[in-house]
């Protein structure tokens, strides 16, 4: 629970209206455990880790230590970590880098984040459909692998809009049979706060994560590149990250990401239980108190923090405005393209109509979500839906 005008540092000013931040899928507030170790590298310890000054080795050492932590949290060797400028870059490096080295074309699911989907489209790859819960259609995947030209398959571990978890082990089994020379990439950006990525992503040669989804800073992420997986750099320059990603290291960001990962792993099982119960209370409460409310997808196949619902006859854009006024931060199942609201490609791929897609909202919970946030949402959302329906009648 936050208050309007109150900074994350706890300085209270302005309107004391409470805010329920239920928009953790786009970004999360930074964990204090990540802020503290970051600060010295923004101040006195600002040196370039590749520099020749006496202080540079300290920055290098900080990166080495962070690399060890990140590798352990992701279940790989330190040398298999490539630090990037976030999840989008990690996904782009995986796809463009793999295709540049191996030739051929990529395949992905229709519910991937645009960082993957647009890369696959740019590389003239194939897109595989999903079922009504957003789970990849494995028969369609077999079909897409035909012809022997596929060199990389990208299937996200958990979806950013509806939270569906994909059967990665099954995908890997199918690849072994139908495209044994292709590599598997998984976008684990939304999965990391909730799932044991180290064990679930083991079949993937390439695994992308992003710090700001689990209490780290924006603009830093990592790609696991398993040893023996050739990936060409997409950013050229000074040859950092063993020539896989050039550019001066974001030392503060990398150190903070490692700290946020450690804290996430420490709390993950208890947070999954706590937040999952809050999500269930929210979803069940909305379904029982709002006529014409429908939950998206099968909850048992979703990450704990995702609550995705639609309300018959309601435009989510208008609903979000009323919710914002009531202090509830959420997102719509739509994206703004050239000023017009476009229905989400994820919901359309799951078989929803344009109208259904445009009446959907995503409430994404996180480690800062409290019972009071859910109380506020369970009051504000039914009120806002009723107000919109009254206006329309």
Whole-number Å distance between alpha carbons of 374 and 1: 9
Q: Nearest approach, Cβ of 333 to ligand PLP (angstroms)?
A: 14
Binding mask 103-122 for ligand PLP (x = CB under 6 A): ----------x-x-------
Output the CA torsion sign for 78, 79, 84, 90.
Answer: negative
Question: By CB under 6 A, which span of 86-94, 171-179, 318-326, 360-368 interacts with ligand PLP?
Answer: 86-94
Active-site residue identified among 76, 108, 329, 336: 336
Of the pair 80, 89, the CB lying nearest ligand PLP is at 89
CA distance 112 to 116: 6
Residue 109 or 240 having the CB closest to ligand PLP? 109
**Of 183-191, 234-242, 246-254, 330-338, which part binds ligand PLP (CB under 6 A)?**
183-191
Choose the binding region for ligand PLP from 59-67, 81-89, 98-106, 340-348 (rule: CB under 6 A). 81-89
Residue number with the shortest CB distance to ligand PLP?
Answer: 87
Alpha-carbon Rg for the chain in angstroms: 21
Q: How far is the CB of 210 from ligand PLP (least distance, A)?
A: 3
Distance CA 17, CA 9 (A): 17
Name the minimum Å distance from CB 44 to ligand PLP.
28
Strand order in the sheet with 221-225: 81-84, 221-225, 206-210, 183-187, 150-154, 105-109, 126-128
- CB nearer to ligand PLP: give 306 or 369: 306
Indicate the burial class of 207 (C-beta count within 10 angstroms; 0-12, 13-18, 19 or more): buried
Toward ligand PLP, which CB reaches closer, 95 or 156?
156
Q: Is 221 in the site for ligand PLP (CB under 6 A)?
A: yes
Q: Closer to ligand PLP at the Cβ: 133 or 187?
A: 187
**Hey, what are 207's tokens?**
């695994």
Q: 309 φ, ψ to 5°?
A: -140, 160
Place of tokens 């959420």: 330
3-state SS, 128-189, equals ECECCCCCECHHHHHHHCCCCCEEEEECCCECCCCCEECCHHHHHHHHHHHCCCCEEEEECC
Binding track over 308-347 against ligand PLP, x by CB under 6 A: ----------------------------------------
List phi, psi (to 5°) of 223: -120, 125
Q: Identify which of residues 28 and 290 has a Cβ nearer to ligand PLP in the complex.
A: 28
Question: Which of 31, 71, 74, 87 contacts ligand PLP by CB under 6 A?
Answer: 87
CA–CA separation, 194 and 305 (whole Å):
8
Would you say 313 and 392 are in contact if contact means Cβ atoms under 8 Å apart? yes
- Name the segment binding ligand PLP (CB under 6 A); options: 85-93, 103-111, 260-268, 327-335: 85-93
User: Would you give the binding string for ligand PLP spanning residues 132-171, x where CB under 6 A is met?
Assistant: ------------------------x---x-----------
Nearest approach in angstroms of CB 221 to ligand PLP is: 5
CA–CA separation, 109 and 124 (whole Å) = 14
What's the rounded Cα separation, in Å, for the pair 292 and 236?
53
336 is catalytic: yes
Query: Is the Cβ of residue 86 or residue 343 nearer to ligand PLP in the bound state?
Result: 86
Bridge-based pairing of strands 81-84 and 331-332 is unpaired
Question: Residues 81, 150, 189, 195: which binds ligand PLP (CB under 6 A)?
Answer: 189
Total interface residues for ligand PLP by CB under 6 A: 14
Residue partners of 309: CB distance under 8 A and separation at least 6: 283, 286, 287, 293, 294, 295, 296, 360, 361, 363
- In the complex, the residues that contact ligand PLP under the rule CB under 6 A are 26, 86-88, 91, 113, 115, 156, 160, 187, 189-190, 210, 221
Active site residues: 336
């Amino acid at each position: 629970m936050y208050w309007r005008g109150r900074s994350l540092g706890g300085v209270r000013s302005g309107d004391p209206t409470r805010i329920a931040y239920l928009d953790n899928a786009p970004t999360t507030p930074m964990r204090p455990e990540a802020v503290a170790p970051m600060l010295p590298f923004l101040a006195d310890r600002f040196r370039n880790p590749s520099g020749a000054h006496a202080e540079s080795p300290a920055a290098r050492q900080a990166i080495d230590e962070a690399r060890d932590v990140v590798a352990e949290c992701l279940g790989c060797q330190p040398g298999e970590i490539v630090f990037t400028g976030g999840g989008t870059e990690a996904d782009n490096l995986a796809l463009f880098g793999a295709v540049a080295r191996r030739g051929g074309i990529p395949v992905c699911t229709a519910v991937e984040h645009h960082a993957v989907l647009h890369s696959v489209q740019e590389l003239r790859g194939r897109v595989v459909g999903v079922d009504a819960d957003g789970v990849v259609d494995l028969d369609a995947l077999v079909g897409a692998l035909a012809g022997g030209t596929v060199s990389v398959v990208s299937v996200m571990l958990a979806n950013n809009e509806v939270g569906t978890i994909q059967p990665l082990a099954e995908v890997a089994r199918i690849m072994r049979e139908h495209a044994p020379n292709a590599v598997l990439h998984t976008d684990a950006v939304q999965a990391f706060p909730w799932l044991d990525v180290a064990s679930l992503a083991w079949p993937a040669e390439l695994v992308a994560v992003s710090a700001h989804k689990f209490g780290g800073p924006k603009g830093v992420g990592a790609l696991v590149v398993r040893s023996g997986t050739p990936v060409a750099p997409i950013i050229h320059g000074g040859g950092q990250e063993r020539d896989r990603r050039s550019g001066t290291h974001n030392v503060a960001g990398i150190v903070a990401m490692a700290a946020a990962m450690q804290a996430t792993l420490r709390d993950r099982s208890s947070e999954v239980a706590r937040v999952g119960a809050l999500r269930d209370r929210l979803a069940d409460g909305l379904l029982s108190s709002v006529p014409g409310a429908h939950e998206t997808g099968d909850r048992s196949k979703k990450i704990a923090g995702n609550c995705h619902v639609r309300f018959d006859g309601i435009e989510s854009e208008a609903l979000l405005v009323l919710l914002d006024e009531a202090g509830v931060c959420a997102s719509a199942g739509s994206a703004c393209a050239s000023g017009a609201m476009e229905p989400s490609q994820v919901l359309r791929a799951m078989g929803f109509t344009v109208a259904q897609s445009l009446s959907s909202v995503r409430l994404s919970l996180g480690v800062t979500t409290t019972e009071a946030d859910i109380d506020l949402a369970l009051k504000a959302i039914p009120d806002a839906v009723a107000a919109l329906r009254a206006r329309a009648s």
